[in-house]
Amino acid sequence: MERRQPPQTEEGWYVLHDFRSIDWDAWRDAPERRRSRAIEEGIEYLSAAESVADAEEGESATFAVLGHKADLLVLHLRPTLADLDALERQFEGTALAEFTERADSYLSVTEVSGYMSQDYFDEDAEVEDTGMARYIETRLKPEIPDSEFLSFYPMDKRRGSEDNWYDLPFDERAEHLSSHGDIGKDYAGRVTQIISGSIGLDDFEWGVTLFGDDPTDVKDLLYEMRFDPSSSRFAEFGRFLSARRFPPEDLGAFLDGERIPREGEDAHGGHPHASGESGGHHHGDSGGHHGDSSSSDHGGSGGPHGDDDEDLRSELEDMGVYAGQPHGEDVHAVVLYSAADSEELFEEVDGLRGNFDHYDTHVKTAVYEPKGDSEAETAVVSLWETERAASTAAGFLSDLPEVVRQAGDDDGDDSWGTMGMFYTVKPEHTEDFVDTFSDVAGLLAEMDGHRKTDLLANREDENDMFIASRWDSREDAMAFFRSDEFSETVEWGRDVLADRPRHVFLA
């Protein structure tokens, strides 16, 4: 008898979907003082949960459920079952609980599996890809997206006489999941997800929670996925529950039948919506959606040089070199290099960029081609306002054709990289800038510790330049920044650049 290989899993935070129904008759008949107390204690409980006052880390959010199945959903993610247990009992101690009955609940736990990364579970291997490590962390400890609409449903993998998911070989299961996830990539920026395992915890095998600002995006995605074999042959679904997020302070408006969130508020209350800060995952960045919680994608924005980054920027500032923030001026950068044909790469990037633009935190994504006779690979640069959004975007960008490396990841050597980004050249000086770079490149080639420096230009804007350098060590690079030649170059740049350059330092 052949036993199929199960994927290994690692678990993160526990997840509780707590669905409540309101006793509307009791609410209408209650005196004003009881209702006021219920609202006050309800807001206090929900606000404390969302601020995670009860635990060292976690997430919570409040939703109004549409339809007859429930009225209220409180979604909790916490490190331990004890944390969730305490939250449940704390709610029951509020005056609001007197007017509610539990309509349903679902218990699960976030997880990653061997479909995502076999090395992650190999005791003798190390996950050297820092992007993958960061991405796994966001899978195990996700943020609840800011999106207004939520759709939740539990699901199983089918174990029928003809179609039995668990009888398939590992590689075939992995292929199904990868194909299934590819569909979701067309919905990047519109639908995000949190998938959690529930085998042994609840009635189904997984819980799927989808988030989006437009409910029809969720509907269209799920409809399209119905035709994929991973769903059509191997998936069984429980009932679906739909809800809209609202801030705790709108609890009174919710109970009074008023429109929520109130006009001018987002789901958190008071501030414009910024869906790009979502820590959930784009629907499709998980090859394991609808089972096994896996992914072949990974993220990471390319980290700076650790704790001494502030000292480094201060030192450069003393020399008159503007170093910006760790990932740029006020953005987080994802930089990948590809050996693919530039035209083919641009078409792929352009498709992703259209989806990225749905995020308020997306600054720009562009393809940079090497100038002159450089043999450098083409670079894809994606800029975001938050690190978590950049990490999520990196998961999609890593699937671009012939990606050879991501800036900031450990490539196995001990070199030290610097990048000068955002060299916006005045149009009349573009040729001068390129010529001067050639002169500087010749100087760099003679400097101790210098490995290579390449000039790349945005294929959509030739005046948007990008310089990437690599050195044996930080001190070698700093020696160049301290040199008279660099000072002269900076001074010359004041006349030819439309804006001052911003420097980004990556390991």
> Residue 38: helix, strand or coil by DSSP?
helix
Residue 300 and residue 406 in contact, taking contact as beta carbons nearer than 8 Å? yes
- Written as six digits, the tokens of 55 are 């635990």
Main-chain dihedrals φ then ψ at residue 90, nearest 5 degrees:
-65, -40
CA distance 289 to 272: 30
Beta bridge partners of 210: 151, 193
Q: Which residues contact 161 (CB under 8 A, 6 or more apart)?
A: none
Q: What is the 3-state secondary structure (H, E, C) of 352-408?
A: HHHHHCCCCCEEEEEEEEECCCCCCCEEEEEEECCHHHHHHHHHHHCCCCCEEEECC
Burial 430-446 (b: 16+ CB within 10 A, else e): eeebbeebeebbeebee
CA distance 60 to 73: 10
Amino acid in position 276: G
Q: How far is CA 471 from CA 7, 152, 415, in A?
A: 41, 50, 6
- How is residue 296 annotated by DSSP? S
Task: Give helix 474-482 / helix 484-496 axis angle, nearest 10°.
Answer: 70
DSSP for 71-111? SEEEEEEESSHHHHHHHHHHHHTSSGGGGEEEEEEEEEEEE
CA distance 498 to 488: 18
Catalytic residue among 106, 115, 120, 153: 153
Name the nearest CA neighbour of 106 among 222, 212, 13, 196.
Answer: 196
CA distance 229 to 139: 25
Q: How far is CA 165 from CA 109, 184, 223, 233, in A?
A: 21, 21, 21, 9
CA distance 440 to 436: 6
Amino acid in position 284: G
* 292 dihedral zone (left: phi>0; alpha: psi -120 to 50; beta): left
CA distance 493 to 499: 9
Q: What is the 3-state secondary structure (H, E, C) of 222-234?
A: HHHHCCCHHHHCC
Active site residue 106: no
* Residues with a known catalytic role: 153
